[in-house]
Amino acid sequence: MLASDHHTQPKRKLDRSCEVCRKQKIKCDGAQQDTGICSHCAEFNIPCVYSAPVKRGPKKKASVTELLQRIAMLEAKLRAVSVSRLCAACSQPLVHAPARDLELEVSNPTQEGSSDSSGEIDDLEEDALTAQFACISLGSHYSFGAGFDYLLAAKAVAEKNSARKREAFEALNCQYAPSWDQEPTPDYYVYPDNDLMAALVGLYFENVHSTLPILHRDAFERALSAKLHLRDGKFGATLLAVLAVASQYSDDPRVLVDGYSAQSSGWMYMTQIQLGLCSYEINVYEVQTAFLLSLYALTTSKAHSSWIYLGVGIRFLQQRGARSVYQPCFEDCETVRDMWSRALWCFMCLDRILSVQFGRPVGLDLDAFQQQLVLPRMDFAIQPPQEAVNYQSYIAIYVRLCKIIGNAMDRVYGSQFRARREPKNCERHQEVVAELDSELNDWVNSLPTHLRWTSEYSATSHPQAAAYFDQAHILYVTQNYLRIVIHRPFIGLGDVIAAPSMSICTQAASCIIQATDAWLKTRQRLPSLLVVCPVFLAAVTLTFTMWGKQSDIPAKISWSDKGEKLVARAVEILESAEIRRAPDGVLRRMLIQLQSVARRTVSSDNIPHFQPGTSIEDLLAQTAPLDYDYLSLWMQSPQDFEGF
Angle at 309 between CA 305 and CA 311, to 5 degrees: 110
- Indicate the pLDDT class of residue 280, thresholds 50, 70 and 90: low
Terminal-residue alpha carbon distance, the chain: 106
Distance CA 338, CA 358 (A): 30
Q: Please indicate, yes or no, whether the overall pTM of this predicted structure exceeds 0.85.
A: no
How much of the chain is in helix, strand and coil states, percent to nearest 5? 60, 0, 40
pLDDT for residue 355 is more than 60:
yes
Strands (E) located in 507-581: none
Name every residue whose Cβ is closer than 8 Å to that of residue 621 and which is 6 or more positions away in sequence. none
Residues 408-412: contacts with CB under 8 Å, at least 24 apart: 408/436, 408/482, 408/485, 408/486, 409/352, 409/355, 409/356, 409/361, 409/362, 409/485, 410/361, 410/362, 411/436, 412/436, 412/485, 412/486, 412/489
Neighbours of 615 (CB within 10 A): 15
The alpha helices in 25-63, defined as continuous H runs, are 39-43
Q: Read off the pLDDT of each residue in 419-435 and give the average, rounded to a whole number.
A: 70
Enumerate the domain spans of the chain: 16-53, 396-634
- 204-242 pLDDT per residue, tens: 999 999 899 999 888 999 999 999 999 888 899 999 999
State how far the alpha carbon of 526 is from the alpha carbons of 203, 347, 578, in Å: 12, 23, 10
Name every residue whose Cβ is closer than 8 Å to that of residue 538 and which is 6 or more positions away in sequence. 480, 481, 484, 508, 509, 510, 512, 513, 566, 570
Compare 109 and 80 and report the one with higher pLDDT: 80
Compare 384 and 310 and report the one with higher pLDDT: 310
What are the phi and psi torsion angles at 383 (to 5°)?
Answer: -110, 140
Quote the pLDDT of residue 608: 41
- Indicate the pLDDT class of residue 16, thresholds 50, 70 and 90: confident
pLDDT for residue 95 is more than 50:
no
State how far the alpha carbon of 409 is from the alpha carbons of 138, 360, 404, 493, in Å: 36, 9, 9, 19
Distance CA 31, CA 288 (A): 78
Q: What is the percent of the chain with per-residue pLDDT over 70, rounded to a whole number?
A: 59
The DSSP letter of residue 625 is S
- 160-191 pLDDT per residue, tens: 545 555 555 555 555 555 666 555 555 578 99
pLDDT for residue 412 is more than 60:
yes
Q: Please give the radius of gyration of the chain, using alpha carbons only, rounded to the nearest integer.
A: 34
Name every residue whose Cβ is closer than 8 Å to that of residue 26 and which is 6 or more positions away in sequence. 40
CB 415 within 8 A of CB 492: no
Q: Read off the pLDDT of each residue in 589-615 and give the average, rounded to a whole number.
A: 62
Q: Read off the pLDDT of each residue in 444-455 and give the average, rounded to a whole number.
A: 89
Average pLDDT taken over every residue of the chain: 72
Quote the pLDDT of residue 108: 44
381 φ/ψ sector (left φ>0, alpha ψ -120 to 50, else beta): alpha
Per-residue 3-state assignment (H helix, E strand, C coil) for 150-168: CHHHHHHHHCCCCHHHHHH
- 235-255 pLDDT per residue, tens: 999 999 999 999 999 999 999
The closest alpha carbon to 474, from 398, 400, 389, 396, belongs to 398
Q: What is the largest CA-CA distance in the chain?
A: 125
The DSSP letter of residue 529 is G
> What's the topology of domain 16-53?
CD2-Gal4 (4.10.240)
pLDDT for residue 482 is more than 90:
yes
Would you tell me the crossing angle of helices 217-225 and 334-358 to the nearest 10 degrees?
A: 110
CB 47 within 8 A of CB 21: no
Distance CA 187, CA 229 (A): 10
Compare 84 and 482 and report the one with higher pLDDT: 482
